[in-house]
Amino acid sequence: MTIEARLAELGVTLPATAVAPLAVYRPAVRSGAMIYVSGQLPTRDGAVLHPGRVGDTVTIEQAQEAARQCAINVLAAVFALHGTLEGLRLVRTVGYVACDHEFDQHPAVVNGASMLLRDIFGEEQGVGARIAIGVASLPLRAPVEVEAWFEVVGS
């Protein structure tokens, strides 16, 4: 099954273009066989999903939905740079969770992104190394931000 068919089966529609950077950086950069995707916020139609801090005004379920949207925006950045999502292997995912200082469920939040990437690329190509970090705040009051590294393994 192609990645495009898998996206359709999962009901995922990628944004037509990569989300525009908020500062001086590129959404994604290729170096050799690697594609590095800058941190993507959970924006959809120009708005941040569930702004606020997890454990305060944002629930874990809302944060997981936001992380899933971050992953969709990651894929849009890859597609805008590389022209396809075929032949990729996820190497690493980094998730930042804006949260209350008592919150300790960062991995559960970032699973919103990781599970989608696994479901799209499969267990072998879509599960890589990962880190989930709690932070005091993120741009635009986003509850989560996700970056990813992919290896181009074929086309």
Domain range list for the chain: 3-152
Q: Predicted confidence band at 79 (pLDDT cuts at 50, 70, 90)?
A: very high
Report d(CA 145, CA 65) in Å as an integer: 12
φ/ψ of 147, rounded to 5, equals: -120, 160
Report d(CA 48, CA 40) in Å as an integer: 11
The answer on pLDDT for 155 being more than 70 is no
Three-state DSSP class for 2?
Answer: coil
Give the pLDDT confidence score for residue 1 in this predicted structure. Answer: 86
Give the pLDDT confidence score for residue 95 in this predicted structure. Answer: 98
Q: Which fold has domain 3-152?
A: 60s Ribosomal Protein L30; Chain: A; (3.30.1330)
- Across the chain, mean pLDDT equals 96
Q: Give the percent of the chain with pLDDT over 70.
A: 99
Spell out the residues 6+ positions from residue 32 whose beta carbon is closer than 8 angstroms to its own. Answer: none
* Structure-model confidence comparison of residues 142 and 20, the more confident one: 142
The answer on pLDDT for 105 being more than 60 is yes
Give the pLDDT confidence score for residue 103 in this predicted structure. Answer: 95
Give the pLDDT confidence score for residue 118 in this predicted structure. Answer: 98
Spell out the residues 6+ positions from residue 111 whose beta carbon is closer than 8 angstroms to its own. Answer: 64, 67
**27-38: pLDDT as tens digits:** 999 999 999 999
**35-78: pLDDT as tens digits:** 999 999 999 999 999 999 999 999 999 999 999 999 999 999 99
